Amino acid sequence: ERFYEDATRILRALRFACQLSFGIEQNTWEALKKSVPLLNNTIMQEDGRHAYAIAREMIGREFLLGFVQHPTHAVNIWKEAGVLDLFLPEVAHLPTNFFQKTLETLHTLQRPALLAQHNLPAPSPTLLVAALFTYTGDDRRTHAHTTCKNLYFHQFGKNHFAHINCKDVFWLVDELHFFEEQDPAAMRPSHFEKKFCNERGQDLLLFMHAVAITSGKHSIARERLHTARRILEQMMKTICPDGDARLPHLINGNDLQQLGMKPGPHFREIKNHVRDAQLIGKIQEKDEALEIARHYIRINT
């Protein structure tokens, strides 16, 4: 009866169970499961249109507040309650083996030993959300986009513990299998830096590693992942030789304009050439960078 009086109590009960990692009393649990359809009840607005009685934003909010603290428990309890079927059907309706792999991936992402290997204190909430869609097939980006949009996963600010960067969620699911076709050892240093030497790039490597462990299979992608981690470790020593301070770029667009170049796509190409040389230790001074730029200009004009 209490759930019928206020259906948001269903969401709060699930959230508290997730946050505190406990079960729900049996009678309450049975009543909760019977009340789940209330979450999709609609009401008529003044303009005659129907709207959900429980805002989708609230459903997303309550899910995230529990999920980011205890991901596997949250997914399990939402599925057992029948709520996952309503709001994350792509995950709820996975074949049993893929659903279990999803849970294993979420669990693996939180393993202290794995996090230590990647020098990370914890998986980001954004990465945890991306991991939900690991086994949803080639349409995983579409599924991620639909869920993030419908449940307002973007609703928390950057300083909130459940902040989700939805654009990074889409990027992570897109790039998960990057090493199946790309060899990190063959990447230009400047391109590797842009892709992996940042928070979302390190999230991606952790994501790849967790999925590889869950699969239990050896593959060329897994070997390339280990190569990428070695490159990243060495490159970060170059980029951040003094801890948090990042290695500054030696030239910028103003420098190129002073050499007589007009702004355009070639600016980026020249700066990438310079950054490549800087990252491998070939140059260290601005004069050396300008000489590379002049050489590039001479051979391309």
The stretch 141-158 carries a mean pLDDT of 98
Angle at 41 between CA 37 and CA 42, to 5 degrees: 165
Q: How confident is the model at residue 72 (pLDDT cuts 50, 70, 90)?
A: very high
The stretch 275-289 carries a mean pLDDT of 93
pLDDT at 287 over 80: yes
Lowest mean pLDDT of 45-49, 99-103, 192-196, 204-208, name the range. Answer: 45-49
The stretch 52-58 carries a mean pLDDT of 95
d(CA 17, CA 207): 26
Q: How confident is the model at residue 245 (pLDDT cuts 50, 70, 90)?
A: low
**Residue with structure tokens 């239990």?**
216
The stretch 231-254 carries a mean pLDDT of 84
Strand segments (E) across the chain: 42-44, 50-52
CATH fold of the domain at 2-175:
cca-adding enzyme, domain 2 (1.10.3090)
What 8-state DSSP symbol labels residue 246? P
153, 67 contact by CB (below 8 A): no
Q: What's the mean pLDDT when you consider all of the chain?
A: 94
Q: What is the pLDDT of residues 19-31, one digit of tens each?
A: 998 889 999 999 9
Lowest mean pLDDT of 134-138, 160-164, 280-284, name the range. Answer: 280-284
pLDDT at 157 over 80: yes
What 8-state DSSP symbol labels residue 186? G
Strand segments (E) across 183-266: none
Lowest mean pLDDT of 102-106, 229-233, 256-260, name the range. Answer: 256-260
194 three-class SS? helix
Give me the DSSP letters along 27-56.
HHHHHHHHHGGGGG-EEE-TTS-EEESS-H
d(CA 127, CA 204): 8
What whole-number percentage of the chain has pLDDT above 70? 98
Per DSSP, the chain holds a count of helices (H) and strands (E) of: 18, 2
d(CA 76, CA 214): 18
pLDDT of residue 218: 86
284, 274 contact by CB (below 8 A): no
Per-domain boundaries in the chain = 2-175, 253-299
260 three-class SS? coil
pLDDT at 257 over 70: yes
Is 272 buried (19+), middle (13-18) or exposed (0-12) by CB count in 10 A? middle
pLDDT at 16 over 70: yes
38, 57 contact by CB (below 8 A): no
Angle at 16 between CA 14 and CA 21, to 5 degrees: 95
d(CA 56, CA 40): 9
pLDDT of residue 242: 67
